[in-house]
Amino acid sequence: MFSLRPVSPAVLACPAKLNLLLAVTGRRPDGFHELVSVVAPVEFGDTLTVEPADDFSLVCDDPALAVDGTNLVLKAAQAFRAATGWRGGARFSLVKRIPVGAGLGGGSSDAAAALKALNRLAGGVLAPAALAQVAAEVGSDCPLFLPGGPVVMRGRGERVEPLPAAAAGRLQGRPVLIFKPGFPVATPWAFAQLAARSQRGYRPGAEAESRLANYLFLVSSGAAGDGELFNDLERVVFAKFVALPVLREQLRGQFGLAPRLSGSGSACFALLPDGAPVEAITAVVRAAWGPSAFVLVTRLA
């Protein structure tokens, strides 16, 4: 959840996200894909500091990250200005922790935080629905970060609704291991590979909704529901990047975990049972993927 201090400058938390369930049901005429997804933020993420200025600017502690107009934070700022006519500005300072090319939504989370901060600076000129519309123009994942909790996402990402309270309450606080190899996966590539399989690559919409309903029923009833989780992009990503399924099977065999890909990857996650041997699991990941691997234990927010 974003947190905004009532002082200047404002400091906002920009959480990473996990696609607990991700169905791809078809390709739209505009080239985007139709999705059905359960998305949950985690307690780990970036930090964005925002203070009023004459114009928009961005600095970041990661020198590898672009801080020009290609960055989603500045794209969000320009989209907000275009939508509202607000002539103010802001100086953004980003502490980057979420790895790039991971399927964890780092750039989109940063952009959503920027939109929320700018709307506050401008006096709340946009109602939540209008702010979500601007977020959807910035990026498909941006709207899902606005509610500040687990959501069901549909369409290309522009249709977002909070998870039912019973299910959200069951998910909150669940420990999760996030692990990413030293290489990224490009989201456009992953969807292009799925599209190349034509209709054979897509899950029927009715099946996706049925799996979603069953998962939400199980979780709301107090069951884990983890057996209902899936990610349709795994079939193309795992076929090329074999290090991912190899490690998944190793963690499944040694520890009984059920790792999944988040988004298009390359980050994977595993929901951890109580008493899981975290140090031993982490050691296996690092032994498999080397020192460049990103490994983190956090909780669903």
User: How far, CA to CA in Å, does 248 sit from each of 10, 57, 78, 186, 264?
Assistant: 40, 41, 41, 20, 16
Tell me if 51 is assigned to some domain. yes
Backbone angles phi, psi at 36, to 5 degrees: -130, 120
pLDDT in tens, 30-65: 888 999 999 999 999 999 999 999 999 999 999 999
177 and 154 belong to one structural domain: no
140 and 15 belong to one structural domain: yes
pLDDT in tens, 13-34: 999 999 999 999 999 888 889 9
137 and 253 belong to one structural domain: no
91 and 66 belong to one structural domain: yes
147 and 45 belong to one structural domain: yes
Tell me if 2 is assigned to some domain. no
- Give ∠ CA 122-125-131 in degrees, rounded to 5: 105
Look at residue 31 in the predicted model and tell me its pLDDT. 85
> Which of 140, 90, 97 has the alpha carbon at shortest distance from 115?
90
Tell me if 36 is assigned to some domain. yes
Tell me if 1 is assigned to some domain. no
191 and 157 belong to one structural domain: no
Low-confidence ranges of the chain (pLDDT < 50): 1-7
Residues acting as catalytic residues? 17, 141
275 and 185 belong to one structural domain: yes
Domain with 99, as residue range(s), is: 10-165
| Cα–Cα distance measured from residue 50 to residue 47, given in angstroms and rounded to the nearest whole number | 10
39 and 127 belong to one structural domain: yes
Q: pTM of the predicted model, to two decimals?
A: 0.91
88 and 189 belong to one structural domain: no
Tell me if 286 is assigned to some domain. yes
115 and 202 belong to one structural domain: no
Look at residue 263 in the predicted model and tell me its pLDDT. 96
79 and 156 belong to one structural domain: yes
Tell me if 3 is assigned to some domain. no
Question: At 129, which CATH number?
Answer: 3.30.230.10
Look at residue 197 in the predicted model and tell me its pLDDT. 78
Tokens 């672009």 correspond to what residue? 66
20 and 152 belong to one structural domain: yes
Q: How many domains does the chain have?
A: 2
Question: At 272, which CATH number?
Answer: 3.30.70.890
pLDDT in tens, 240-251: 999 999 999 999
